[in-house]
């Protein structure tokens, strides 16, 4: 089960949970490895003056590094509260516009973009729309850059094995005995298949980054409270789950755990549409 493949029957509902506490999301969610943005400049051309359409900007975790690199950005964010926080975070950049809208129905401007960037958000966009509309937004040879993040084996591995008991107790949808995959075992070829099936883009250039982040108990609970699956639990079950996890971290792991992330950059460029 991958972090970037939501259950299609719940995708729309889950995608709307993030706006419920935008300030928490902004404080708790980590950003992305700096080398990702270096590679993005190399393979997608997101340097000074590049015209970028960002899909699903959140509170600006990827918008800010792109703005700092001199990009001119139109960032589309569904959640009104998330968009408001993003505007605050990007207030110092005149070349950044935050639009509150859903990407699926937002009318594309006449001037095409050099790049469409979507960081940990593309999987929330309607699969029937996202590839074609991203291609429509781009100039010939423009780049679609999708960033996906997975939780993989590593860091405080024993903690995540033990935490499985908390999930099985409080979240009935948890598969029994679930274990985190090794980064090398995470198969994301479905993205390349989707790109190829669209007929609008060339081959995908994949770049991967493994990185660890250490959380205190309070910090880890905060980040869990931003996850759609946790937010969608009934309140009593959610609080029971978080209490179980907090007790485990405090009793057995000295109040700190380390989580390993796998972030993947996927870049493809538009090709002439078939006639």
Q: What is the pLDDT of residue 231?
A: 82
Which residue, 119, 115, 130, is CA-closest to 44? 115
Position 243 in a domain: no
Position 237 in a domain: no
Pairwise CA distance, residues 219 & 69, whole Å: 29
Which residue, 169, 154, 157, 160, is CA-closest to 224? 160
CB burial readout 162-187, b (16+ within 10 A) else e: ebbebbeebbeebeeeeebeebeebe
Position 220 in a domain: no
Position 200 in a domain: yes
**pLDDT tens-place string over residues 89-147:** 999 999 999 999 999 999 999 999 999 999 999 988 999 999 999 999 999 999 999 99
- Domain harbouring 59, CATH code: 3.40.50.150
Which DSSP state fits 178? Answer: -
- Rounded to 10°, the helix 235-252/157-170 angle is 150
Pairwise CA distance, residues 53 & 96, whole Å: 10
pLDDT at 274 over 70: no
Quote the Cα angle for 42-54-46, to 5°.
20
Pairwise CA distance, residues 227 & 238, whole Å: 11
The answer to whether 66 and 55 are in contact (CB under 8 A) is no
Position 163 in a domain: no
Position 78 in a domain: yes
Structural domain count of the chain: 1
What is the percentage of the chain residues whose pLDDT exceeds 70?
Answer: 92
**pLDDT tens-place string over residues 243-272:** 999 999 999 999 999 999 999 999 999 997
The residue range of the domain holding 208 is: 8-152+181-212+262-270
17 pLDDT band, cuts 50/70/90, is low
Position 67 in a domain: yes
Q: Which helix (H) or strand (E) holds 25?
A: helix 22-28
Q: Is the pTM of this model over 0.75?
A: yes
């Amino acid at each position: 089960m991958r972090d970037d493949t939501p259950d299609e029957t719940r995708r729309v509902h889950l995608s709307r949970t993030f706006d419920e506490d935008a300030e928490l999301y902004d404080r708790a969610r980590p950003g992305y490895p700096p080398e990702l943005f270096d590679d993005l400049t190399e393979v997608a051309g997101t340097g000074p003056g590049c015209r970028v359409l960002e899909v699903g900007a959140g509170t600006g975790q990827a918008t800010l590094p792109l703005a700092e690199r001199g990009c001119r950005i139109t960032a589309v964010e569904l959640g009104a509260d998330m968009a408001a926080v993003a505007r605050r975070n990007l207030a110092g950049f005149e070349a950044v516009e935050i639009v509150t809208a859903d990407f699926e129905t937002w009318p594309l401007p006449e001037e095409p973009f050099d790049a469409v960037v979507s960081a940990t958000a593309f999987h929330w966009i309607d699969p029937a729309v996202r590839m074609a509309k991203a291609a429509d937004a781009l100039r010939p040879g423009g780049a679609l850059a999708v960033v996906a993040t997975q939780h993989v084996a590593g860091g405080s591995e024993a903690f995540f094995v033990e935490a499985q008991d908390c999930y099985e107790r409080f979240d009935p949808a948890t598969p029994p005995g679930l274990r985190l995959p090794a980064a090398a075992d995470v198969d994301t070829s479905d993205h390349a298949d989707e790109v190829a099936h669209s007929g609008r883009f060339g081959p995908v250039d994949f770049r991967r980054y493994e990185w660890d982040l250490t959380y205190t108990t309070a910090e880890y609970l905060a980040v869990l409270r931003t996850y759609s699956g946790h937010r969608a639990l009934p309140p009593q079950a959610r609080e029971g789950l978080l209490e179980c996890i907090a007790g485990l971290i405090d009793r057995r792991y000295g109040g700190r755990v380390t989580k390993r992330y796998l972030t993947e950059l996927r870049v493809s460029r538009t090709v002439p549409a078939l006639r």
